[in-house]
A and B are shown apart, each in its own frame.
Chain A
Amino acid sequence: MRRRWLRTAIRVILWALAIAAAVLLSLVVLFLLLGRIPSSDERGMLTASIAAIAIAAGLVAVLGRRTGTAIRRITGGDRGAPADLARSFSSRMSRSVPLDELALQAAEGLRTTMRLRAAEIWLLTDGELRPWIGDPDIDRQPVPLGGMDPVTVVQAGLSGHGWLQVWMPQMLEDRDSYIRMAPMANAGELQGVVVVERPVEDRPFTTEEERVLVELARQVGVMVHNAKLDSALQASLDEVRRQADELQASRGRIVAASDQARRTIERNLHDGAQQHLVALAVQVKLAQTLLERDPAKAAEAFDGLGEAVQATLQELRDLAHGIYPPLLADKGLPGALESAARRAVVPVTVHAEELGRYAPEAEATVYFCVLEALQNAGKYAGEGATVEVGVKEDDHSLTFTVTDDGAGFDPATGAMGAGFTNMLDRLGALGGSLKVASEPGRGTRVTGTLPAARREGEA
């Protein structure tokens, strides 16, 4: 709005200056032809004349178009104006003008071209029509549709006093004028309505005006519908962006977790199996030395070797179990979970009898998530707590629950530990999900679900 006024002001000033300069130039030429300099009386008159001409030029610049329109109206030449309004609105829609500015232009355009008391645009929101934009501003309460189906308003098309009195009397409150209401719809879906009012002392609405009103309301309806689509699209984009960020972070954590796992395996190999093997090597060498130096002692050394070999084997077995439990590969989830339950520091009951065999990554995910939850229970559930583990197959998915009757925690305040993040990442990577329910003194229940189909030919 401000820009429009600024443009008008600049136009006025430029017009006035241009005309004044032209008049001044003409006078200079005239006096040069006459061959004399104007007297001081004449100069005063001429200055006043130039100023008057400049002001007149400014007025014409401001009022020229409106005067022309008024003259056309008086002479009956304005019949095309409302139709122009619909056409020009349609062309403006294709440019990137903000929605509410377009709507205001529509209302102002309607009011001006049809000489209305008011032009209002209402939007359908949560089952009621709410005032949106009007010329002048709408000062009215929302109108509930009540039991009426929005489609009824669309089907009614352009409605007047009679229809409104029956179906939407609130719209008529405090109005004593000609009134028309046109539905704003897109593909039969009501978006809102356009309401116009003309004083009764003026003329009634013409068919042409009604046709323009219906067309304009339809266009505003399309525009509102598109804007809604835009904002829905934006919301979807935001959601996709959020998911992408989460995926990125999760990938980072998976890489870090995998590096951490490598370091742990390297550490375990170095501190465990390798140390046993080194000690074994020393003992073998010692036994060889003793064979030469003291055969009696060599026999003792060989006895010790057997024990050392067994200890090394056990160390390797434990290590392998930590990397990928051999029982899981051989026997599947029931056997592996039973074995994990026996090693847990809290008493654990496992219910997983009905399971078959699934993709290795699905089985490993369930196994390690349950293990993580068991470790959490061991750390936090407290003295005397017991744990129940349940795994079941349901409609191409596996669901596990790990429930303890221990100390519990407040999920709202207690930060989710690294254990839960690991579970979320593992499940997330396979399109699964995790729920953790807990409250202080009421134990904790961890539930995870992931898609999993039985392996072909497996029980």
Chain B
Amino acid sequence: MVLASLSSDALDVTMSVEEDAPMPVRVLIVDDQEPFRMAARMVVEVTDGFEVVGEAETGEDSVTMAADLKPDLVLMDVNLPGINGLDATRQILSGAGDAVVVLLLSTYEEEEYAPRAAECGAAAYIPKAVFGPDRLESAWDVAKA
């Protein structure tokens, strides 16, 4: 029984790896507010094909962690202590180029910030209040299309 069970588990694992052949999108969350980091982590974790690889609280940390962890996607808050999200985005993109997609998030209205998001090279701007699995997936798809 035990052996059978073990082999069955092993098979499961192998199969699941084969089924999810495309590697999950590795996400770095950047936000100085703990409540939102937690909510964003929940969103990323329940969205199929995405996983959290790290969290940063400042712009400076996000640049360092992006270089170290090489994430596929960065969820970047605009208002950060130290360098702000726009500058951090520029630095991350200048280091990693097309290998990374940055989504800007903020509590500000979309009209206010969407143009500035484009200026700094971010793929999209998402108001925090409407952030969810759907917006995460659609923004990623548009960026990679």
* Residue positions of A touching B, CB distance < 8 A: 270-271, 274-276, 278-283, 285-286, 289-290, 293-294, 297, 301, 304, 308, 311
Contact = CB atoms under 8 A, between A and B. Distances in A.
Contacts of B38: 279
A294 B134 CA distance: 14
Contacts of B25: none
B33 A282 contact: no
B54 interface: no
B31 to A, nearest CB: 9
B35 A286 contact: no
B36 interface: yes
B127 to A, nearest CB: 9
Given A275-B35, A290-B46, A294-B46, A282 B131 contact: yes
Contacts of A308: 35, 39
Interface string B127-145: 0111111100000000000
Contacts of B36: 275, 278-279, 282
Interface of B: 33, 35-36, 38-40, 42-43, 46, 107, 128-134
B134 A289 contact: yes
B35 A304 contact: no
Given A271-B33, A283-B39, A311-B35, A278 B46 contact: no
A271 B107 CA distance: 10
Given A275-B35, A308-B35, A282 B46 contact: no
Contact of B128 (A282, A290, A293): A282
B33 A289 contact: no
B42 A278 contact: no
A331 to B, nearest CB: 31
Given A276-B35, A308-B39, 15 more contacts: A270-B107, A274-B107, A278-B36, A278-B128, A278-B129, A280-B35, A281-B129, A282-B42, A282-B128, A282-B129, A283-B39, A285-B132, A289-B132, A289-B134, A293-B46
B132 A278 contact: no
Nearest to B77: A275
**Most A CB within 10 A of own CB, among B40, B46, B128:** B46
7 contacts: A271-B33, A275-B35, A278-B129, A286-B46, A289-B132, A293-B133, A311-B35
B84 to A, nearest CB: 14
A285 B131 CA distance: 8
Contacts, number: 59
A279 to B, nearest CB: 4
Contacts of B133: 286, 289, 293
Contact of B35 (A270, A279, A290, A293): A279
**Most A CB within 10 A of own CB, among B39, B40, B46:** B39
B40 to A, nearest CB: 7
Nearest to A281: B129
A20 B110 CA distance: 103
A256 B38 CA distance: 37
A276 B38 CA distance: 11
B85 to A, nearest CB: 15
A289 B40 CA distance: 14
A301 B35 contact: no
Contacts of B107: 270, 274-275, 278
A311 B33 CA distance: 13
B110 to A, nearest CB: 14
A304 B129 contact: no
Contacts of A282: 36, 39-40, 42-43, 128-129, 131-132
**Most A CB within 10 A of own CB, among B35, B129, B131:** B35
Contacts of A297: 46
B33 A275 contact: yes
Q: 8 tightest CB-CB pairs across the interface, nearest first? A: A279-B35, A282-B39, A279-B39, A275-B33, A285-B132, A278-B128, A281-B129, A279-B36
B124 to A, nearest CB: 16
A433 to B, nearest CB: 41
A371 to B, nearest CB: 27
A294 to B, nearest CB: 7
Contacts of B42: 282-283, 286, 301, 304
A121 B119 CA distance: 88
Nearest to A277: B129
A146 to B, nearest CB: 79
Contacts of B35: 275-276, 278-280, 308, 311
Nearest to A311: B35
**Most B CB within 10 A of own CB, among A280, A282, A293, A294:** A282
Contacts of B134: 289
A387 B130 CA distance: 49
A275 B128 CA distance: 9
B46 A285 contact: no
A278 B33 CA distance: 11
A281 B129 CA distance: 6
